Structure 1
Amino acid sequence: MTVISSTKNPEALSFTLIAEFDAGVERVWQIWEDPRQLERWWGPPTWPATFEKHEFTPGGEASYYMTGPDGEKARGWWRITDVQPPTHLEFDDGFADDDGAPVEAMGTTHATVTLEEIGDRTRMTILSTFESEDQLNKMVEMGMEEGMKEAAGQIDALLAEHSRA
């Protein structure tokens, strides 16, 4: 399986997901950089993502929605804070209302993505940090851990498809 571990750390207000892929760092970077590839895995299989905006530069913004099995849309936003191709990405992440405006009551999460070469494979670490333990617990209760595992589980097929192209 792609996902090696997922760890909730209430003391550090963090959640870490580690996955490894049979692809080089540059190739794995593309699944973040290209919004059409990002859409193929960002949401869990039953909640696919659609990115309406994807400015992949420091200070850039992204807006997206995930569509549930019953057609319900859950909106989100990113504010890109650091981009160091092809190994490091940081962004603030949050929920959005129907107009795409941040839902302040849900708080903001900060994500740090690190890609490291391990032979001819790539290890991807996604570290999410939260504003409070309450926010971390709410996100876990909402299914964040399982959703991230399912989302990352879609990456192998995407990488294999593009390596044959």
Structure 2
Amino acid sequence: MPADHQMSQANLDNPVEIIICRTFAAPRELVWMVWTDPNHVGRWWGPAGFTTTTHSMDFRPGGSWRYTMHGPDGRDYGNRVEYIEIDKPSRLIYTLGGEGSDESVSFRTEVVLECVGENGRGTKVTMRSIFPTAEARDFVINDHGAVEGGKQHLANLEDYLASMSAGDDHEPPFSISHVFNASREKVWEAWTEQEHLLQWFGPKGSTMLHATMDLRVGGMFHYCMSHPNGMEMWGRWVFRTINRPDKLDFISSFSNASGEITPAPFQGLDNFPPETWTTVTLVEHAGKSRGTLVTIEARPFNGTIVQRDFFTAFHNSMRQGWTGTMQQLSEFFGD
């Protein structure tokens, strides 16, 4: 399917509407199922970094879906969907309103699913949200980041459909997210400029002693870090993808002063993979606090089965280290 068909588009020509569409390389029946089945919809619903807790779901005209969306900045958003029309598998109309502190948000949404592509194997989804007034529409755009959030919403659906196609037998990557009170450009600079990385990179209590940066595909970030116990550790990133200010891909490894790959220097990490594929994505946070949502994902690169299993079991320890690192980056931005 052509790449441009995969892009989200938002139509703001009508002052009381938001229209967002995206085309998926998946059959319409599958897209309908993951949009309407309570076993699936809560696993992808919402903008980037959000998770969803379903309280009740009665999928029928006149029924409702009550759920809470948990933002990556720690905010919770209560929501209630009231189903109006259901025409399987092509059309769905519902109203969406906030609950509790978010009762000011209320609008009507029509979701249309069209078969497209060769033999109709793809699906174009058009989401048309209609607000009672232009002021109400502008409120959700300005206060909740609704346009960007809608694009991320459909991007999450695409990722979920892709994961279903890949099967459920692959190991989940390590993943952690954090919202920073800074623009994507500022956060990008913090991740890619040597003088900035020296000020914040590493777990809480660590200190960067040395760093060199060659920011190009195939280039390397090579650094030395002092841990709170006094141990010095070398590491390196070899860049695979550099898309400013959206995404960094790199292969990370423990290293020596010459930049060569070495085993993990800590006791008990004999089975840690020698290389991990790390992806850092930066998106606008579609929530009240705004800012930039950074998500870090890592998985073993060409590791053995034993190394992959060890890496999966080590996720909690990695989370502790990355949480401290994210705290240092927050302090770097003055949060």
Task: Return the TM-score normalized by structure 1.
Answer: 0.88
Q: Does 1:145 align with 2:153?
A: no
Structure 2: distance between partners of 1:9 and 1:38: 29
**Which of 66, 70, 75 lines up with 1:63 in the alignment?**
66
Structure number with larger C-alpha Rg: 2
Deviation at 1:41, TM superposition (A): 2.1
Task: Tell me the residue number matched to 1:111.
Answer: 109
Deviates more, 1:149-158 or 1:88-97: 149-158
Task: Tell me the residue number matched to 1:31.
Answer: 34
Q: Deviations over 1:103-142 (max 9, x none)?
A: 2xx1520000000001311000010000001000001102
What SS does structure 2 have at the residue aligned with 1:148? helix
What SS does structure 2 have at the residue aligned with 1:154? helix
**Which of 3, 7, 12 lines up with 1:3 in the alignment?**
7
What SS does structure 2 have at the residue aligned with 1:153? helix
Task: Tell me the residue number matched to 2:136.
Answer: 135
Q: Does 1:88 align with 2:86?
A: no
What SS does structure 1 have at the residue aligned with 2:140? helix
Deviates more, 1:48-57 or 1:58-67: 48-57
What SS does structure 2 have at the residue aligned with 1:150? helix
What SS does structure 1 have at the residue aligned with 2:151? helix
> 1 or 2 for the larger relative contact order (CA 8 Å, sep ≥6)?
1
- Amino acid of the structure 2 residue aligned with 1:14: E
Contact 1:31 1:38 in 2 (8 A): yes
Structure 2: distance between partners of 1:116 and 1:10: 22
Task: Tell me the residue number matched to 2:160.
Answer: 158
Structure 2: distance between partners of 1:92 and 1:70: 26
Structure 2: distance between partners of 1:143 and 1:107: 12
Task: Return the TM-score normalized by structure 2.
Answer: 0.45
Deviates more, 1:147-156 or 1:87-96: 147-156
% of aligned pairs identical? Answer: 26
Q: Deviations over 1:46-104 (max 9, x none)?
A: 22222211111100011111112243211111110000111110001111117xxx82x
Q: Deviations over 1:28-51 (max 9, x none)?
A: 001211123211222112222222
Structure 1: distance between partners of 2:13 and 2:54: 30
Contact 1:107 1:131 in 2 (8 A): no
What SS does structure 2 have at the residue aligned with 1:36? coil
Structure 1: distance between partners of 2:87 and 2:95: 16
- Amino acid of the structure 1 residue aligned with 2:134: E
What SS does structure 2 have at the residue aligned with 1:9? coil
Deviation at 1:164, TM superposition (A): 4.2
Structure 1: distance between partners of 2:43 and 2:17: 25
Deviates more, 1:44-53 or 1:145-154: 44-53
What SS does structure 2 have at the residue aligned with 1:69? coil
- Amino acid of the structure 2 residue aligned with 1:54: M
Deviates more, 1:86-95 or 1:150-159: 150-159
Deviates more, 1:68-77 or 1:51-60: 68-77
Contact 2:45 2:157 in 1 (8 A): no
- Amino acid of the structure 2 residue aligned with 1:151: H
Contact 1:114 1:125 in 2 (8 A): yes
